[in-house]
Structure 1
Amino acid sequence: MPNSLYQSLISRLTDLRKYHTRYQLILGIILLLAILSSSLLFAFVFNTLATLSVPVRVFLLGLFLLTLSGSIFFFILRPLILKPTLEKLALKVEERYPHLQDRLISALQLQKQFQANPEGYSLDMIEAVGYQADKISRDLDFKAVVDKRNLRKFGKLSFSLALVLIIFGVLFPGNFRQTLSAFSNPLEKINLPSKYEFTVTPGNTEAVKYADLKIGVKITPTQANFTKQIPQEIKLFIKSEGKEWENLDLEKIDKTLRIMPADKDVDFVYIFKEVKRDFNYYVAANGEKSEKYSVKVVDKPRVIDVKLTCNYPSYTNLKSEVKNENDGNITALVGSRVTIEAKTNKNLEKAVLVFSDGSKSEMKVNDKTARGGYIIRKDASYHIEIYDKNGVANPDPIEYQIKAVPDEFPLVDVIYPGEDRDLDESMSMPLRIKATDDFGFSKLEIRYKINSNGTEGKEKEFEIRIDKKSTDFQTDYIWNLSRIGLIPGDYVSYQAVVWDNDNFSGPKTGESRLYTLRLPTLDEIVAEVEKEQSGQVSNLEEVLQSSKELQKKIENMAWEAQKDSKMNWEKQKEFEAVLDKQKEIASKLEELSSNLQKNIEKIEKNSLVSQEIIQKMQEVQKLMEEVATPELKEAIKKLQEAIQEAMKNVNQDKLREALKNMKFSQEELLSRLERTLELLKRLQAEQKLETLSKMTEELLKKQDEINQKIEKSPEKDLSNLEAEEKKVQKDYQNVQKEMENLEQMTQEMPLLSPEDMQEMQTSVNNPEIKENLGSMCQSLGQCNKKSSSQSGKKLSSEFQKAAEQLKKALAKTQTQAQKELVEAMQKSLNNLLYLSQNQEELMGETKENKESSQQLAELAQQQMQLKTGTEQAASEIQELAKKTSFVNQELEQSLGKCLSNMGEATSKLSAKQGFAAEMFQNEALFNLNQAALSLLDGMNKTCSSPSSCPSGSKGMAQQLQSMAEQQQRLNSACQNLGEGGSLTEEQMAQMERLAAEQFGLQKSLRELEQEYKETSGVLGDLGEIGKEMKEVGENLQEKNYNDKVLQKQNRILTRLLDANKSLNTQDFNNERKAEIADEILRKSPSNLSEKMLDKNQNSKSGLKYQEEFYPKEYEEMIKSYFKGLSEGPNK
């Protein structure tokens, strides 16, 4: 048989064998499933009907496993291992298909012999059998020989058993699970089937520490519970670490009541309050137990530290601030960005900032740290919510407060002038502006509006530079208002405005209060000044009246004190009242002096009067300051002390002496008050006259301006000028009122002759002025240019005449008053010099007749006559002092000392004490010369105006006066040097320097004589004075200083004063042209010792004299003279 036919037959039989094997495997599997199902069903039935013991379960399980193993081998492994041969399969095919007639098996068997053919069969026959077998079997289905009936039979059996098992498992799941559990663990003892199924919530869980935990139990009856009833009580068993099991009762839920939704699926509950530690638990009922569960207690997430970092707005220039105090409360400036960093006890999943307005802000989380930020805008509160990995949030987070500190508004004020002010002629106002802010400024402005004639202008402003970084500045600025177009009567309302540097909320402004600067009219200034002056005069009169009343009380008290009556409480109170009244008067005087000074400043600022009158007013103010003398203050102090001692009955004489001194001081006070009042009234009248002159000039100026506007304006616009002309009309009425006031003043304090006063009144009260003013106002209202122009020109002419008349009267008043004053002073000076000369001669006679009693008695009468003459001269000077402030206190004091010296000299002469009388005469001579010098100084000050002193030798007069003063100081220095008797080396050196100074004065006198040769007849023999100066210098050079040298020095001084008097007299008589002396430069003599200069120096006198002009080489000599002048002669 061909090989291909054989291979085809073998392939078909091989496929049959595979098919047969698969069939056997499938059948084996079905049988195996049937065995498994039946075994499980058997075990279920037996386990359900009875509780199988461990041996039974082991036996049954072993039997099951043995059966299962045999079934697997027989039904699974055996068909795979013991496969049927092809011949056996061919026989089964022959058996299934008989018509093959053994050809198939024969072909297989003969084919094996085809190659070897040991039996020697016919090969053709073999091939023929093969062809026939292949031909017959080619269309046959070999697989049909497999019997499939067992497969269907056992498949149905296996399926039925499996279905029954599934049904039992569904119907009895508990028993089914219990059966599986019992046979899965055959060595474990099997409990009885549970009657209940416990569903415990939450089972195994984690609980948050200190949180409540609710255990819920639902009981379901099992198949073993045929009654299907659940127990009414359940026990909860718990066990913590290190403790025994303990049981608790669960609460049964009454579901007929309204319950929480979470409790609908449970029958019993138990709530653990604030769980603190881990524990295990299970529930039990009627001997049935649930599974064991565990509860692990974990901490809740919580914030353990809060760190705040505050970044302030950039404009504050504040550094970032870190707060580590574990305090989340925030107090920060609006606009600050606060970074909040929270540290927690466990790793976080999420963190949120929750604010009181409901807004939230996510925080960045990194393990146990959360970080977030917030910009401060307003007051609020916040808390930090954190969540751990389990989603548990921190309970009851702390609510922190946010305090938004606002950027304060800047404060600003104009601290100078700090009040409403009037502008003066300078049209400028210094401003001092102070501002404060918490962080700095961006701008400072002055805002202002001009109000003119009741109409308020637009607001304007200008900026002032400031230090913007400063938080507190004070800046000065001089505001020039001359450029903003103010006219008299206008006012400017202004305020300072400052901006801070807040760039977050926007710059805030601060405003000062509103101030005004007014440019007053001349009438208003005059009215205000005069009102203040009238008040000052009235107040001074009241003080004078009070002082007179007080003087009477002091006199009465002094008279009563002479009765030796003891001091009692009532008298003490009377004395104290007097002292209090005196202090009150002194206080009022200080206040009046201060007010007068303010008034002077106002007058000077507004240029109401000339500088000459201002200087006079300042002198009066100075007099007012000096009314309360140091002697009066000392007398008050001593009287207080004396009152205290008198109350203790210690010293009544001291009280009498104190009252006497107080009386004298009070008399001096009254004298000075009367003088000051007279001077003030005179100045008030002079000022009134000068003010009238200025007011009239102002009228002329305004009228000229209106006339110019008329010429330039169209006729239809003339009505706009009517208001200005009415203002001129009103100002003219004020001038007339001021003229009436001046007339009343001059009745008490005459300034002009009645004729001059009448001319001045006529020019001011000219009826034509009033008529032309009315006519012009009417013409302007009617827009009549021609008539207005004519009236305006007439008014200008009339105003000019009035102004010239007032100016002429003012000049005449000043010239005449000063001339009369200087003449009176010259007369008094002549008297003093005459008295000085007579006193010098009398002193010489006294020296020559010291031992003659008869002559001394006659000299006493002459001394008394000189004293009477001096008293008369002092009285005249006292009246003169009421007319000028240049009669100073030193003059009055010198005269008072002189009279006292003359009185003592008279007494000593009467007592035949020549040596003592000579000493007092020398003192009197010194004080007379000192008074003459003071009066001469007052004359020079009065002659500061050329109109008052027409002298052509004014320079020479000043030099003579200067030399007289220097000689007086030199005389005093020599007398002080000679007080100690024998001279030390230092004093001898000083004497040489004084000699050099005397020679210097001699040289200056000789040069002065050569410079003014034309006046030699008037001055007398200056050469003789120079000769005596030379003799004195030689004596000093030889250290020979005695009474004779002293007399020569006094004679030199007297002759110098006489020369000055002669020069002034000649000047007033001939009215020559003044000449200014040239400055003379000479080598300066050596200096005096500091010891001599420091002794009893009168600083006030020194300052006054040093202001005068002196050649430079005599400065030290002058200082020495001041010293001697204050010390007086050697007694």
Structure 2
Amino acid sequence: RGDSVTVTLDVPAATRATLWTRGPGEPWRPAAVALDSTGHATRRIGPLESDLYIRASSGSRRSVERRVSVALPAFVAGLELTARYPTYLASPDEPLVPGPDPVAIPEGTMILTSGAASVPLAAATWRRTGGAAGARLSVDGARFSGRLAAAPSASGSWLLELATADGTPLEGDVPELRLHVVPDSAPVVTVPVPGRDTTLPLTLRQPLVIDARDDHGLTRLEVVSWRVSQTGKVGAAVRESLDVSGAGDRAIVQGDLDARRRGLLPGDTLRLRVEAWDNVPAPGTHVGRSAEIALRLPSLEELRAATRAATRDVAAAADSVAQAEHELGARTRDLAQQRSRDPTGTRRGADGRDGPLPFQATERAQAVAREQEALQQRVQELSRAVEEITRAAQAAGLGDTAFQARLREVQELLQRAVTPELAARLRELQEALARLDPEATRRALERLAEAQQQLKAELERSGELFRRAAVEGALASLAADAEDLRRRQGEWNHEDAPRPDSAGAARQRTLADRADSLARGIDRVAADLGAGSHTPLATPEQAARAARAAMQRAAQAAEQARAGAATEAGSEAEQQLAGVPDALRGQRDSLAREWRSETLAALDRALSETAMLAKGQQRVAEALRRGEAGAGTRSQQASVEEGTEAVARQIREAAGKHALVSPQLDAALGYAKRQMAAARSQLEEPDPNASEAAALAEDAVDALNATALGLAHSRSQVAGGKSGSGFAEAVEQLARLARDQQGLNGLAQGLLPMMGMTGPAMLQQLQALAARQRALAEQLEWLQAGGASGAAGPLAQEAKELARQLDAGRLDQQTIERQQRLYRRLLDAGRTLSNDEPDQNKERVSRSATGDSVHLPELLKPGATGAGPRLRYPTWEELQGLTPEQRRLVLEYFRRLNEPRSR
């Protein structure tokens, strides 16, 4: 192909001839040829690209037809390359294009090769540039086929070498395939949370956030953790699988590492890593591992120090919240009063009604609402912080019941501080602002100010209790630190002092630092108490400092290898520490007794003054009954009213120092003050109504008597309590009542099968059971009146309902179920006071109402007060200015005063 051919013509006796030529499938093409004298001529035809057909003619003479065959060159007529990816990738086959451009393919891909040459072949091979080995292909005539495996080492240029059967070289460029084989990498695993070495939470549940990714897919994820003790002993690894099914090539998984059953001791470390497997079939599966993270369980000493620091921080936060609430309440009252007295605060419409609320006033009221919401959030955060401190104290081994009880009562106070009434007042203000109603906004501001005043009182009470809890907790934790330090010093004296060296000296210096920390902690508690240098805390502080000095001498002696001096100084340090724990605990107990005595003294003063005020108010009522409505009576009424305010302050202070003093006693006094103010207003009228004023004055006498009764009951509870706060007694009372109810339930279940029997004996047993149920209800009422548990009131109501049913001879399965529910509610009330967390994962099941599910409050039932009460109950007009809780308390006192007296 491409060559030329020479054609020779011989035509005797002719001078001219015609040369005919054509290609395959073409018409003949003539060409005139001149002959020489002998009838001979030559012609050269070419270059030829295909076969050529030739013949010649001259006149009537014709030659035979000749064919010149052109041999085709050897070349690659066709080539197909297909990438077949590994099965686990779940990707379809893709064609590949040979050439100089790199082709990226994953590891394990098979390159299917098929094609044909223009001539028969002897061999076909893929061969990498610079490499001896290759991949042979099968040959069938001019066709070839086979496959090339893309191993991790297959990256590079591959040439398709074809050998023809006759040895003719192939024309054109050799097919080239530049492969870049991407190896299947191991998964990459990180743990953003906790992200680094940290301390294990006190709950021993470490939250984890795991980020695992792979170039193709993940199939398995495991958390591997193992314990490392303080001595360096490594425990067996524990594997926990996490679900990553369907996650694809990346998974962000959240979970918890539960270390509660790992046997960790303070000072131990839990190390962990996360392992991930990709989807490559075995044995080629790749495993990725995260960096190791150490979770250290703090030592008891560190936990106690952290508890003390957290307690100080929360105390400061409580003071800040109380101060902020005080300032916000003042602003709310000022804004409400400004709305009341500013005649130009709103524009009058054409019909004489108030116009829209001015923009500036709206903005100020909205700011008050926003700040109140933010303060409520801060109070809830404060409650959670106290809960954390409680758990931290338990984890630190501070099992002191007084300290734990004080923390629990502070948390309950904070939880009760944000009342539904406050939320309702806030909603009223927001709704009034949305309507731009000036009068509704003013009323809402006034009501919100009253609710803020109650919140401020609760915050101040909880703040005082928490300050006491901080002192109690600090003394308890410092006593535990001193006990542990004395024990460790004894161990050093026994083990390190006889064989002094530099390592023993270093350990002794560490103990000296702890002694210095102990002395500084005692000094801080003394400063919190406002104590001077001649207080009971001065002695343990001096002992701790003396122990530190002795430890430093012992460390120096150990460094110098003087065993005798080290032993002597170490023994001195141990002796100095011997009395410190008992001294600190004694001071804590002394403070509890002092606080209880202080509360009793405050109650005694309040009770005495309340009795005197009741007598004075009685004289005012008697004078008004005689028609004496002059200046003298008005002066006496104002004097009693002023004294009532002083008693209210004393009750609030006492309630802030002891949990068994009900802060609701102040509400009863508030009712008395309202009645006194109403009586005085009647006397200040131009035409005084003495009879109406007398009725109001008598109401105030009854309220003062009810307050005196509550004070006497609170005093008896405080005097009988053993703790400084009284909270432990409240928890114990609820637990005892729950046990009593459980016993009643057992008796009722025993009587249930005999209910078919009739007769006086069965009725007598039911009445005896009803009497015990009624006695339990009365104990719950007293517990509610003392303010120790807000849940006691509804429980008492349910117990009385059950007693009435039993007294009427009705005992069935429904009654048994109600008794069981009461028992469980009593247990729940005790747990609430004990700060046990509810089970958030427990399924909540609704129950349809039954005939016994509707309960009216006892005070609202017809005939509950008798046909003729001894003391008139307050009317709705008189009670509507009070909060719902205050109204309940006032009505409860009046109900008790009107109960028939036992003879």
TM over 0.5: yes
CA contact (8 A) 1:430 1:478 kept: yes
Aligned to 1:745: 528
Aligned to 2:2: 214
Aligned-residue offset at 1:697? 1.0
CA contact (8 A) 2:516 2:548 kept: no
- The amino acid of 1:783's aligned partner reads A
- Residue of structure 2 aligned with 1:696, choices 471, 475, 482: 482
Aligned to 1:554: 332
Aligned to 2:343: 564
Aligned to 2:555: 777
Gaps in structure 1 of 5+ consecutive residues: 1-212, 251-265, 847-851, 967-994, 1009-1051, 1062-1079, 1110-1115
- The amino acid of 2:413's aligned partner reads L
Aligned-residue offset at 1:787? 3.1
Aligned-residue offset at 1:560? 2.3
Aligned-residue offset at 1:726? 1.6
Aligned to 2:772: 1004
Larger helix proportion of the pair: 1
* Worse overlay, 358-367 or 529-538: 358-367
Query: Partners of 2:780 and 2:417 in 1: how far apart?
Result: 35
Query: Does the C-alpha gap of structure 1 residues 899 and 451 become closer, same or farther in structure 2, counting only changes over 3 Å?
Result: same
Aligned to 2:572: 794
Task: Please give the TM-score of this superposition, normalised by the length of structure 2.
Answer: 0.63
Query: Partners of 2:723 and 2:302 in 1: how far apart?
Result: 31
CA contact (8 A) 1:301 1:388 kept: no
Aligned-residue offset at 1:879? 0.8
CA contact (8 A) 1:445 1:496 kept: yes
CA contact (8 A) 1:1102 1:1119 kept: no
Aligned to 2:829: 1104
Partner secondary structure for residue 516 of structure 1: strand
CA contact (8 A) 2:770 2:806 kept: no
For residues 303-338 of structure 1, give each alpha carbon's deviation from its aligned partner in whole angstroms, at most 9, with x where no partner exists: 6987765554xxx5x88x774x777899875235x3
Q: Does 1:244 align with 2:27?
A: yes
Q: Does 1:656 align with 2:439?
A: no
* Worse overlay, 678-687 or 547-556: 547-556
Aligned to 1:539: 317
- Residue of structure 1 aligned with 2:403, choices 609, 613, 628: 613
- The amino acid of 2:433's aligned partner reads I
Aligned to 1:639: 429
Aligned to 1:335: 108
- Residue of structure 2 aligned with 1:581, choices 371, 387, 406: 371
Partner secondary structure for residue 579 of structure 2: helix
Q: Does 1:597 align with 2:387?
A: yes
Aligned to 2:650: 876
Task: Please give the TM-score of this superposition, normalised by the length of structure 1.
Answer: 0.52
CA contact (8 A) 2:22 2:54 kept: yes
Q: Does 1:723 align with 2:495?
A: no
CA contact (8 A) 1:890 1:934 kept: no
Q: Does 1:464 align with 2:239?
A: yes
For residues 565-623 of structure 1, give each alpha carbon's deviation from its aligned partner in whole angstroms, at most 9, with x where no partner exists: 22433333333333333333333333333333333333332224624313322332333
- Residue of structure 2 aligned with 1:511, choices 282, 289, 303: 289
Aligned-residue offset at 1:412? 3.5
Aligned-residue offset at 1:796? 1.8
CA contact (8 A) 2:461 2:655 kept: yes
- The amino acid of 2:510's aligned partner reads K
- Residue of structure 2 aligned with 1:812, choices 582, 590, 595: 590
Query: Does the C-alpha gap of structure 1 residues 450 and 284 become closer, same or farther in structure 2, counting only changes over 3 Å?
Result: farther
Aligned-residue offset at 1:672? 2.6
CA contact (8 A) 1:613 1:687 kept: yes
For residues 72-104 of structure 1, give each alpha carbon's deviation from its aligned partner in whole angstroms, at most 9, with x where no partner exists: xxxxxxxxxxxxxxxxxxxxxxxxxxxxxxxxx
CA contact (8 A) 2:105 2:180 kept: yes
Query: Partners of 2:115 and 2:734 in 1: how far apart?
Result: 101
Query: Does the C-alpha gap of structure 1 residues 631 and 483 become closer, same or farther in structure 2, counting only changes over 3 Å?
Result: closer
Query: Partners of 1:916 and 1:296 in 2: how far apart?
Result: 142
Aligned-residue offset at 1:703? 0.8
Aligned-residue offset at 1:913? 8.6
Query: Does the C-alpha gap of structure 1 residues 794 and 304 become closer, same or farther in structure 2, counting only changes over 3 Å?
Result: closer
Aligned-residue offset at 1:624? 2.9
Query: Partners of 1:431 and 1:630 in 2: how far apart?
Result: 33
Aligned to 2:878: none
Query: Partners of 1:492 and 1:580 in 2: how far apart?
Result: 45
Query: Does the C-alpha gap of structure 1 residues 776 and 1102 become closer, same or farther in structure 2, counting only changes over 3 Å?
Result: closer
Query: Partners of 1:672 and 1:296 in 2: how far apart?
Result: 113
Query: Partners of 2:53 and 2:434 in 1: how far apart?
Result: 105
- The amino acid of 2:405's aligned partner reads Q
Aligned to 2:66: 292
Query: Does the C-alpha gap of structure 1 residues 793 and 459 become closer, same or farther in structure 2, counting only changes over 3 Å?
Result: closer
Query: Partners of 2:627 and 2:31 in 1: how far apart?
Result: 150
* Worse overlay, 919-928 or 877-886: 919-928
> Identity over the aligned pairs, expressed in percent?
18
Query: Partners of 1:610 and 1:616 in 2: how far apart?
Result: 10
Q: Within 5 Å, give how 1:82-101 maps onto structure 2.
A: none
Q: Within 5 Å, give how 1:449-488 maps onto structure 2.
A: 462=237, 464=239, 466=241, 478=258
Aligned to 1:101: none
Query: Does the C-alpha gap of structure 1 residues 674 and 891 become closer, same or farther in structure 2, counting only changes over 3 Å?
Result: same
Q: Does 1:372 align with 2:173?
A: no
- The amino acid of 2:2's aligned partner reads K
For residues 876-909 of structure 1, give each alpha carbon's deviation from its aligned partner in whole angstroms, at most 9, with x where no partner exists: 3311222135556766666656765787799999
Query: Partners of 2:379 and 2:2 in 1: how far apart?
Result: 98
Query: Does the C-alpha gap of structure 1 residues 478 and 664 become closer, same or farther in structure 2, counting only changes over 3 Å?
Result: closer
Query: Partners of 2:478 and 2:129 in 1: how far apart?
Result: 77
- Residue of structure 1 aligned with 2:189, choices 395, 412, 420: 412
Aligned-residue offset at 1:741? 0.9
Query: Partners of 1:759 and 1:908 in 2: how far apart?
Result: 58
Q: Does 1:709 align with 2:495?
A: yes
Which structure exhibits the higher relative contact order, with contacts defined as CA atoms closer than 8 Å and separated by 6 or more residues? 2
* Worse overlay, 394-403 or 573-582: 394-403
Query: Partners of 2:97 and 2:728 in 1: how far apart?
Result: 94
Partner secondary structure for residue 112 of structure 2: strand
Partner secondary structure for residue 270 of structure 1: coil
Partner secondary structure for residue 596 of structure 1: helix
Partner secondary structure for residue 635 of structure 1: helix
For residues 242-275 of structure 1, give each alpha carbon's deviation from its aligned partner in whole angstroms, at most 9, with x where no partner exists: x53246999xxxxxxxxxxxxxxx9652354xx8
For residues 717-753 of structure 1, give each alpha carbon's deviation from its aligned partner in whole angstroms, at most 9, with x where no partner exists: 4453222222222211112211221121001xx7xxx
Query: Does the C-alpha gap of structure 1 residues 560 and 443 become closer, same or farther in structure 2, counting only changes over 3 Å?
Result: closer
Aligned-residue offset at 1:408? 3.9
- The amino acid of 1:577's aligned partner reads A
Query: Partners of 1:831 and 1:1103 in 2: how far apart?
Result: 38
Partner secondary structure for residue 407 of structure 1: coil
- The amino acid of 2:337's aligned partner reads W
CA contact (8 A) 2:4 2:45 kept: yes
Query: Partners of 1:791 and 1:370 in 2: how far apart?
Result: 95
- Residue of structure 1 aligned with 2:536, choices 755, 759, 763: 759
Aligned to 2:459: 673
Aligned-residue offset at 1:666? 2.7
Query: Partners of 1:411 and 1:708 in 2: how far apart?
Result: 51
Query: Does the C-alpha gap of structure 1 residues 944 and 559 become closer, same or farther in structure 2, counting only changes over 3 Å?
Result: same
Query: Does the C-alpha gap of structure 1 residues 303 and 606 become closer, same or farther in structure 2, counting only changes over 3 Å?
Result: farther
Query: Does the C-alpha gap of structure 1 residues 356 and 576 become closer, same or farther in structure 2, counting only changes over 3 Å?
Result: farther
Aligned pairs, how many? 754
Q: Superposition RMSD on alpha carbons, in Å?
A: 6.6
For residues 318-366 of structure 1, give each alpha carbon's deviation from its aligned partner in whole angstroms, at most 9, with x where no partner exists: 88x774x777899875235x37374889998678464775875333357
